[in-house]
Amino acid sequence: MLGLLVFYAYGFLWTLKPRRAESMSDLLDLFYYKFLRLKKEHVEVVRITDSELVTISRNPCPILRLTLFLGLDTRYTCKLISEPVCRYVIRRVNPELVFERNYDYIRPYEDGCMERIYLRS
């Protein structure tokens, strides 16, 4: 519960300063490297176009660590803790963007966590 509150508060506070992404490359930098604070070597860009960004993250993840420690399932905990905050931050950056996490490609069941961000058509 504490992790949930901390991540929600962080997402809210981070978005108090207006931020915009003019391209998917800008979004990659803003969301993954600045908001999530991931290192470039931990983020594989699977696809990047003018309207879509698909990544696989392989970073040391506190939500993954806690989930495994508690014997829970990341398909549940990430949907509860991480996904709402990520959706909120992405919408604040650009209301036309949609954030999706692929729960068939998520750790510890796969080697990373796949996410897709795209422009609503």
pLDDT in the model for residue 7: 87
Backbone angles phi, psi at 55, to 5 degrees: -130, 160
> Which among 77, 79, 74, 117 is positioned nearest to 97, based on CA atoms?
117
pLDDT class of 121 with cuts at 50, 70, 90: confident
60 touches 37 (CB < 8 A)? no
Q: pTM score > 0.95 for this model? A: no
Strand 43-48, strand 97-101: pairing: unpaired
pLDDT in the model for residue 5: 87
> Which among 103, 43, 97 is positioned nearest to 77, based on CA atoms?
103
112 touches 105 (CB < 8 A)? yes
The total of structural domains in the chain comes to 1
pLDDT digits (tens, 9 = 90+) for 17-68: 999 999 999 999 999 999 999 999 999 999 999 999 999 999 999 889 989 9
